[in-house]
Amino acid sequence: MTREQKPETTQRHDYGTAEQLRGIHAPGRSVPGIIALLAALLLLLLSTGCRKEPGEQELPPAKLASEDPWLLAVKEFGQARAYLGNGYLGVNASQEGLGFDREEQLPTFVSGYYVNESFAPGPAWAAPKLSIDGQSVTAAEARSYEQSFDLRRGVLVTRYVWRRKPRTEVEITLFPARHDPHLGVIQVALTPARQARVSLDAVAPTEGCAVALVDRQADGTPASFPGEIELAARQRWVLTRYVGICAVRDSADPQAT
């Protein structure tokens, strides 16, 4: 008599190879360990990425000194910049009150002109070079500093007292005109404490621009004088500079516009 044997049934579970199993339980491969490692790497990248170059000085942020919502005023020299535009001309201005920041010339723009996807640079009409007795004038060496940006009128006014000798009161007004979109205006007023020699180079650099300069005079005085002028003590001297910018597409004869 034979006994019928039933086939045995087995269940197979594939847990992977022995090396794979050891890798799962290997030290340092746990999820908390990986998270801790990633966090350490992130902190390292942040600390090195925010490090400043040697010798680079960070100026404190400017504090607003006006409660008028239309008037942005500061009384501390800092890093704040203003942008002024009238729909055609656009200019960046630093806390110097002009179109440069230390040695950096800030960009100006003419509406509708591009290089690839960026605005094409325009003439640097808002960056005249001012010196008194052969010394460059800068608001970084000043006291009683104040700058106000009138958003209603679109006018930037900067006032300070230059601390070097001769002590000089400086007031700079900058704006692109609203009534004439092709017109930019800079007014520089100086009041020295004693007699001083003043030089102002008002020629607009045109590097990178295809332009034709047109020199005109008013009352026999060139718009930009290469020499120096003498200022009497406590005499207020005011130079108002009008800059007209006209593109070829704006007129058949831009020089006559």
The model's confidence at residue 123, banded by pLDDT at 50, 70 and 90, is confident
Contacts of 185 (CB under 8 A, 6+ apart): 173, 174, 175, 176, 177, 240, 241, 242, 243
Using pLDDT thresholds of 50, 70 and 90, give the confidence band for residue 55: low
Q: Which is higher by pLDDT, 113 or 51?
A: 113
State pLDDT tens for residues 200-231.
876 555 554 544 445 554 444 444 555 688 89
Q: How far apart are CA 131 and CA 26, in angstroms?
A: 72
For position 15, what pLDDT does the model report?
Answer: 46
Structure tokens at 78: 């800092």
The answer, yes or no, to whether the previous bond of 166 is cis (omega within 30 of 0) is yes
The tokens describing 6, both together, are 């039933």
Mean pLDDT taken over the chain: 76
More confident site: 35 or 162:
162
Counts for the chain of helices (H) and strands (E), in that order: 2, 18
